[in-house]
Structure 1
Amino acid sequence: MDSEPVPRDQGEPSMLDPRVLDPEQELVRRAGLDEGDVDQVVQVLEALRRWRETERRMSEASRRYMKLGETDMRALRFIIAMQNHGRVVTPGAIAEHLGITTASTTKLIDRLAAGDHVLRLPHPSDRRSLAIEVTEDTRRVARQAVGRTHARRFDAAARLTPQEREIVTRFLDDLAGTDDASV
């Protein structure tokens, strides 16, 4: 079936449109979908692309503002979350959460401590271990840089009806399941 791609805003066609990328339907089967259905699917994929781009820009801006790398930011979020729940965070817990070696964790903690982002303190119950805590300045900056953004995302999801949230969750889980390591 050789159909012409529907123009997107009379500009360039979407690079996510299978009618553009796979006109012969070798990979993307469109049987049972009319042009309007395909247009809607492409709109969903374009919205996801815009979200990913926005997420990337926001994450990059936060990292730049705090002068930290992605792993450093993930470590800080973990430490803050655990502290919020009254949990003592050890280097081993950070390593496990991030899936990195203890040597990499030591370097990470060294960087964060040198930047005045974390403190190394004696563990309250294990003399052989350390407790890692986020400094108040870093907690405040992270709350402003990351926390406010998360609050807006939460609000967007909260505006959905319970049924819409179930549909979106199922859809995103389905997308997460498309990761094919064999490719």
Structure 2
Amino acid sequence: MRAVVPDWEPSPALEALDELVQVSAASMPAVARRAQLSESELHALRHLMKDDLGPADLARLLGVTAAAATGIVDRLEAHGHVERRPHPSDRRRTMVDLTPSGRTQAIGLLAPMFRSLAEADAELSDEERAVVTRFLRQATVAMRQVM
């Protein structure tokens, strides 16, 4: 970081954040490779764990075209991780549901990380958690400035 801002000494908190950002950037490609999925497919599984979505919704969340989202859904369907069903109120649309194998795959890939994060969070007092949350929210705003 010093090369970016001359005469600046980052704090240990900023160095830890930089390390987290670097590890985060490397972790999803590694997890996707291990699962024999693309990063987009892995991110789609993460979104589908939260809610059933249509291909257009996935396109928006993944930042890809509708055609690309359809290809992602096609590949996940071929793996048996998702299935399409008619939209409950709009016959022109389809919904994408995570199958039990898709849920198992996503949970198996990401659960160790989420479990460790939950353990680290549990070690914080409410006051510490508030400070960490405020710092991370401000760091997110700072990072969005370059998007």
Output the TM-score relative to the length of structure 2.
0.80
| Deviation string, structure 1 residues 71-91 (Cα, Å, up to 9, x no partner) | 211111111111xxxxx4212
Q: Is the Cα–Cα contact under 8 Å of residues 90 and 131 in structure 1 kept in the other structure?
A: yes
**Aligned partner of residue 89 in structure 1, secondary structure:** coil
Q: Which of the numbers 10, 21, 32 marks the counterpart of 1:63?
A: 32
- 1:19-72 CA-partner distances (Å, limit 9, x unpaired): xx73xx3xx3xxxxxxxxx6xx53223322332343344323321121122221
Among 22, 45, 70, the alignment partner of 2:14 is: 45
> In structure 2, what residue type is equivalent to 1:174?
Q
> Aligned letter for 2:77?
A
User: Residue type of the partner of 1:119?
Assistant: E
Structure 1 unpaired stretches of 5+: 1-15, 29-37, 83-87
Higher-helix-fraction structure:
2
The alignment's TM-score, normalised by the length of structure 1, stands at 0.67
Moved >4 Å (runs of 4+)? none
| In 2, Cα distance between equivalents of 1:115 and 1:141 | 10
Report deviation, 1:117: 2.0
Counterpart residue number, 2:81: 117
- Give the secondary structure class of the aligned counterpart of 2:135: helix
Instruction: Give the count of matched residue pairs.
Output: 145
Match in the other structure for 1:152: 116
Let me know the Cα RMSD of the aligned residues.
2.5
Q: Which amino acid aligns with 1:107?
A: G
- Following the alignment from structure 2 to structure 1, what is the Cα–Cα distance between the partners of residues 133 and 61? 24
Mapped pair 1:166 → 2:130: yes
Deviation track 1:139-175 (CA, whole Å, cap 9, x = no partner) reads 1121111123112212212211111111112222222
Q: Identity over the aligned pairs, expressed in percent?
A: 31
CA distance in 2, matches of 1:152, 1:43: 21
Query: Which of residues 134, 153, 156 is equivalent to 2:98?
Result: 134
Which residue does the alignment assign to 1:4?
none
